[in-house]
Amino acid sequence: LQPAGPVLAVAAAAALVVAAGLARLARARLGGQTGDVLGAVQITTEIVLLALSAALLTGAG
């Protein structure tokens, strides 16, 4: 097994970029964040983190 530290760091950075982009979009379109926006950001960043981690750890990425 490969050490997951660098892979998780890359995946976490990508999730942070996605979260920042969604926050900026929410500010522009809705004037700020709502509970629905926070839920969408949480789900989206979780999917990005898990998918990218899996892709990098299995060599698919």
pLDDT for position 3: 65
The CA–CA distances, whole Å, from 1 to 7, 23, 43, 59 equal 12, 36, 28, 12
Placement of tokens 């989206």 in the chain: 44
Boundaries of domain holding 15: 5-58
Number of domains the chain is built from? 1
Number of helices and strands (H, E) in the chain?
A: 2, 0
pTM for this predicted structure: 0.76
Q: What is the pLDDT along the chain (61 residues), one digit of tens a residue?
A: 456 778 888 888 998 999 999 999 999 999 998 999 999 999 999 999 888 888 888 876 5
Number of C-beta neighbours around residue 10 at 10 A: 14
